[in-house]
Amino acid sequence: MGTTVDARKFAETKFDYIVVGGGTAGLTVASRLAEVSSLTIGVLEAGTSGYGDHNIDIPAYSGRALGGPYDWHFQTTPQPGLGGRTLPWNRGRVLGGSSALNYMTWNRGSKEDYDAWEELGNAGWGWDSLLPYFKKSERFHPPPPEFRDNHQASYNEPNTSLGNDGPINVSYTRDFSPSHALWHATFNELGVESNPAHLDGSNVGVWTTIVAVNPETATRSYATHYCLTPPKNLHILTDAMVEEIILEKDDGEWAATGVRFSRYGDTYDVSASREVILSAGSVQSPQLLELSGIGRVDILGVAGIPVKVESPKVGENLQEHIMLPMVFEVDPSLPHPDDLFVDEIAATAYEQYQRGKSGRLTVLPCSMCYLPVSRLAPADDVASLLSKSRELERFGPEEASILSRRFNADKQLGQVEFVFDLGNWNPSSSSDEEGKRHCSMLLVLQYPFSRGSIHIGPDAGPRAESPPTVYDQPLIDPKYYGGPHGELDLQIMLHGARFAQKICSTKPLKNIIPGPVSPSLDVVTDDDLRSWIVENTITDWHPIGTCAMGGRAGREDGVVDERLRVYGVKRLRVIDASVMPLHISAHLQATVYAIGEKGADMILEDAGLRSQ
């Protein structure tokens, strides 16, 4: 795809809007604004274009780009709740952002997840208001009837909840892992019903997920597909690192007038006559706000950055899905992802993929189940969790009520996600032994009570000798399992791990699982399992909340208002996952596209413009 290549020409262009970050939300916003032909839109992306790279495009290669040249290579601070471990936090440094690196899962949270945002005072962010924007981003490809029957690839018909003409192609995979045929039957045996309408406002139950794949080409569909052929009024500059937002006084108030960026050693200023839109993601949007003088007084003071706008919640409220990969042996006769590293097998699979857009290179993890804690734990334990959640002091009354009532017996919300896949997803577990193959049961906490932060350095101590820059990694501290909030998360994960063991010892799934690997049979007691959980928990790459909508509490509880405008700064918005005030029970990408779609619509509405 084409991008602007002349940085000086880009800097001299008279832009109406500058979008910082050419990722999932950024390209959504920019392309929708560019539909108004009278506007001129600029996008600055720190990474390069990976369009056409097999490690991005081919479904079964998902994950291979993690840790490579398209990755920011972030990592957390040492986590006391994880025994002092640090975790890698992979984020996309590439046109398309993390939508170019993820595992392509396409789902939505429950209706109540989004209604909770509105309940906090963020008008227009409930399920009913967001659904049109979910649909606007997507083009759903229905599978043939026999496919639905064979793979339980079902959805409500007639289809009223999925989009038909959006830029992101979503579909069921062409082929499935051999274990998938056992997934629904195993949960049904455990009394968990299949959910044929998991995109319609409730994801509770077992189902087969759709993915962001174009079935016509069998390739990843991601944010670059919003602008494969950019119109003349959309200018995209890659390999451009934004260093700060330029703020100037306007009638006594600070206003964003442009940004400063560098490219190949040269630095440029570029202006935006209408607005600057920050879409750098949950890690770098708060980082850039702080580097520009917007944030907590103490953080900026220690960093040596003059405070322009005091905004105490910048970088706070970090919430992240917590993932626990449990590893089991699996029948070695089954086709396995590791086979694709064998030259002869890989060559045959690639030939089939090229010839028919089918076969093993189209397989993705598609076996999903979301369950409330009440399905995982005895009633007395759930009551204890509810009681402990009400004792937590950090949250305001509205947020505390939302978080606690998710434990109520009548609430059918997916608090824990279960995903099954062939292969070893645990970086702490040893690789397959000779003659043995592994599978993974992933359990993911959806509504964490832990709250962390992302800030510029230094971490502690006296004032910095020189202010940090965008080239210094921010301090990412999710506070996994930290304090009484994290203790609640750990207890939920303990119940989830026990249920995961039960799943893998239930037929028909049990028929292909000879036994456990990690945790081993030596992990018996709850104390043993808790220790193992602490040693093996990893990230699920779903951070949100660091520039959250403040709702009725305003700047005391957030960074942006319900129109995504930054408190205390004119002509500056944040539009990405960081604006989400509470986490959702879902993978993020579909929601981030919807945020981008809605954000663009708000910009046009506030400017008195409409797409043409």
Is the CB of residue 470 less than 8 Å from the CB of residue 439? no
141 is catalytic: no
Q: Which residue do the tokens 């405070």 mark?
A: 307
Q: Is 94 marked as binding a ligand?
A: yes
CA-to-CA distance for 303 and 293, rounded, in angstroms?
A: 10
Cβ–Cβ under 8 Å, residues 1 and 570: no
What is the 8-class DSSP label of residue 194? B
Torsion of CA 131, 108, 321, 533, to 10 degrees: 160
- Tell me: cis bond preceding 78? Omega within 30 of 0 counts: no
290: DSSP letter: H
The DSSP code sequence of 427-489 is: TTSPPPPTT-EEEEEEEEESS----BEEE-S--SSS--SS---TTSPPEEE--TT-HHHHHHH
**CB-CB contact of 70 with 52 (8 Å):** no
- Token readout for 46 is 């720190």
Overall residue count recorded for the chain in this entry: 612
Whether the Cβ atoms of residue 316 and residue 298 lie closer than 8 Å to each other: no
* Cα distance between residue 308 and residue 297, in whole Å: 9
DSSP code at position 77: P
* Annotated binding residue 283: no
How far apart are alpha carbons 486 and 319 in whole angstroms? 11
Are 190 and 503 in contact by the 8 Å Cβ rule? The answer is yes
Q: Which residues pair with 439 in a beta bridge?
A: 328, 422
DSSP state of 334: S
Please tell me whether 523 is known to bind a ligand. Answer: no
Catalytic residue chosen out of the listed positions 151, 235, 485, 587: 587
Residue 542, annotated ligand binder? yes
542 is catalytic: yes
Residue of 235, 495, 542, 583 marked catalytic: 542
Give backbone dihedrals phi and psi of 97, rounded to 5 degrees, phi first.
60, -145
Extract the annotated binding site for FAD: 94, 242, 541-542
Active centre residues (catalytic): 542, 587
The binding site consists of 94, 242, 541-542
